[in-house]
Structure 1
Amino acid sequence: MAKIDRRILKTQEALKKAVIELMAEKNFDDITIQDLSDRANVSRGTIYLHYMDKYDLLDKLIESHINELRELCASAADMDFISGTLIWTEYLEKNYSFFSMMLASKGAPYFRNRFLDFLIEEFRHEVDVTKGKNQGLNEDVIVRFIASAYVGVVEWWFTNEKPVPHHVLAEQLGTLLERNL
């Protein structure tokens, strides 16, 4: 894999930070390339060197977080649900500005759907409808139920500005997952 120039990474990080900050101030549809350029202190041309448009920038930002969450899932594969969820909630808290903007605002409903699809994909590996309490139930219904509940709780956590510490959220979500999967 080729090494990426630090200047490129710095520019991309500045643009990602700029879009999050601007989304805190106004609707994503109202953000212009000039707004991004001014906030990130780069030229408009520089933005187009890295991204096709503001939607591509947002998509790449979302994709980077989804990929990071996917890697966290892989690293937590041999853990119980509480320990695995603790890793997630630490990541969510560390990236609070991004996730609160994506989940607690109307600015990016696209992210919510991507997050839900990602969770459905991950929880599908955990469901067993051949035995136990889920025996005979439809796998798609169970997976969608669990993933939707998870997204809903995470949205609640961000919308209410983290009313419980991330470790308490992890413990309770993990316990609920253990009871239902």
Structure 2
Amino acid sequence: MKLALILLAAGDSRRFNGNKLLHEFNGKPMYQYILEEVEKLPDDIFDRKVVVTQYQEIMSCMSDYGYEVVVNEESSLGISHSIHLALEVLENEETDYCFAVCDQPYLKAATIRDLVRGWRNSGKGIGCLCNMGALGNPAIFSKNYLKELLKLEGDVGGKRVIRRHIEDLYLHEVVDGLELVDIDVRKDSES
């Protein structure tokens, strides 16, 4: 079965007090960290790469790297809207889905690769990263979960589906919990 990478990069960054995805974090825009790590992965790990965003800079950069750009003009509808937009683009494709966010600057390519391999070998329908019991992104869903993902509403993401199907979940433990940290609040030293 094919696997599509879906990068979610349309958020309004309400808690961040500014656009966190374009914010310079240790010398480069935050969204570029995941882009650079995905570039280190084997070419055959993802069959398609999609980014959902409302930001022109991200659209331009990602299309240069071969991503299909899906424009989210209604980000106020929450993360579920970005999920729906991506799934609509992929709906006629026989593929599974790997969702990742663009505000985890410490996530490493090897961790993404090991998650995908471990999930494929597990025979489970869902896979995600975790650290000491805390669930994190990326998260992978087999096509069997398409209808449930399309029923998500508001600012609710795939964790709701994961929690309903713990018996079908492959957890990939991350040794360094920093990899799962998403940057939601601007530190004074970064502004």
TM over 0.5: no
How high is the TM-score relative to the length of structure 1?
0.26
Mark the structure with the bigger radius of gyration: 1
Write 1 or 2 for the structure with the bigger share of helix: 1
